[in-house]
């Protein structure tokens, strides 16, 4: 499925931005607090990378002359209730993989004509 308009590209970048922002949310930090020290550094690293990704997405939007997100999809939080630390990490990795798949889709399917309009 080709991304053939700036509006579609903006929509997908906004969704990416939301994924990154959600990872920085309170629920992600709840997992940080409830994990043992051996896993906390991993969660902290992923949260910092997510923050950097969100800032990079904002820069990309600005460079492309697209609007930055002003509204978000309804709050979806990470649900770690009753999970062991290893299960929490697997869930976090799942969200990270979803973001990577979305970035790959944008990269591989954006029609270069989008930038000429």
Q: For 34-47, write each residue's pLDDT tens digit.
A: 776 777 777 788 88
User: pLDDT above 70 covers what percent of the chain?
Assistant: 80
Length of the chain: 117
Q: Residue 47 domain-assigned? A: yes
pTM: 0.78
Which one has a higher pLDDT value, 20 or 33?
20
- Distance CA(106)–CA(114), nearest Å, equals 12
Give the mean pLDDT of 63-89. Answer: 74
Do the domain assignments include residue 115? no
Query: Is residue 58 in some structural domain?
Result: yes
Q: Is residue 117 part of a domain?
A: no
Positive or negative CA dihedral for 30, 58, 70, 95? negative
Pairwise CA distance, residues 72 & 59, whole Å = 18
The answer to whether position 37 is within a domain reads: yes
């Amino acid at each position: 499925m080709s991304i053939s308009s700036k509006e579609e590209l903006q929509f997908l970048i906004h969704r990416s931005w939301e994924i990154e922002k959600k990872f920085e949310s309170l629920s992600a930090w709840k997992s940080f607090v409830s994990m043992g020290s051996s896993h906390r550094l991993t969660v902290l690293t992923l949260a910092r990378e997510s923050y950097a990704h969100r800032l990079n997405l904002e820069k990309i939007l600005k460079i492309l002359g697209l609007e930055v997100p002003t509204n978000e999809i309804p709050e979806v939080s990470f649900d770690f209730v009753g999970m062991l630390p290893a299960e929490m990490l697997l869930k976090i990795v799942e969200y990270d993989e979803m973001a990577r798949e979305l970035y790959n889709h944008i990269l591989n399917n954006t029609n270069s004509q989008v930038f000429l309009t």
